């Protein structure tokens, strides 16, 4: 895989599955290629359709192949997982850009826990 900078924009979420008994999610997204270096969006309170429009930057190494997105509901104590997904960076390298709604699959992929809109741009070094 090529070296360079990956720009990631977490645009918004849609139809995120409720994790709270009362009210809606207080959603945020953790993004990482390597688990040791996670970045995260701000928490958007009380909505299952959050709009983040937040930009992140990752310096890609030769062996980086996949980017991960973990969506959580923030609670007073801890957090609940809403869902997660991953994208092969090959999709970004091929076109130089990526702009998609990604489903957060539930177990066995039979239904969805919502979707997140991700835009990525690759800048070779």
Domain count, the chain: 1
Q: Give the model's confidence band at 3: pLDDT under 50 very low, under 70 low, under 90 confident, else very high.
A: confident
Convert the pLDDT of each residue in 74-117 to its tens digit: 988 889 999 999 999 998 988 889 999 999 988 766 778 999 99
pLDDT at 23 over 70: yes
Predicted model pTM: 0.93
Concatenated DSSP letters for 83-105? EEEEEETHHHHHHSEEEEEEEEE
Closest CA to 72 of 80, 64, 63: 80
Q: Give the model's confidence band at 48: pLDDT under 50 very low, under 70 low, under 90 confident, else very high.
A: very high
Q: What is the CATH number of the domain that holds 66?
A: 2.60.40.150
Q: Give the model's confidence band at 47: pLDDT under 50 very low, under 70 low, under 90 confident, else very high.
A: very high
The predicted structure's pLDDT at residue 100: 96
Domain limits for position 27: 4-124
pLDDT at 20 over 70: no
Contacts of 84 (CB under 8 A, 6+ apart): 68, 69, 70, 71, 104
The predicted structure's pLDDT at residue 50: 98
């Amino acid at each position: 895989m090529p070296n360079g900078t990956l720009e990631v924009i977490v645009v918004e979420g849609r139809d995120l599955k409720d994790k709270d008994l009362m009210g809606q999610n207080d959603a945020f997204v953790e993004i990482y290629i390597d688990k040791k270096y996670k970045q995260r969006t701000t928490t958007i309170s009380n909505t299952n359709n959050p709009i983040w429009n937040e930009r992140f930057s990752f310096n890609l190494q030769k062996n980086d192949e996949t980017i991960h997105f973990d969506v959580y509901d923030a609670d007073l104590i801890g957090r609940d997982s809403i869902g997660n997904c991953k994208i092969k960076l090959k999709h970004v390298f091929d076109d130089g850009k990526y702009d998609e709604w990604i489903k957060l699959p539930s177990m066995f992929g039979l239904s969805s826990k919502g979707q997140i809109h991700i835009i990525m741009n690759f800048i070779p070094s």
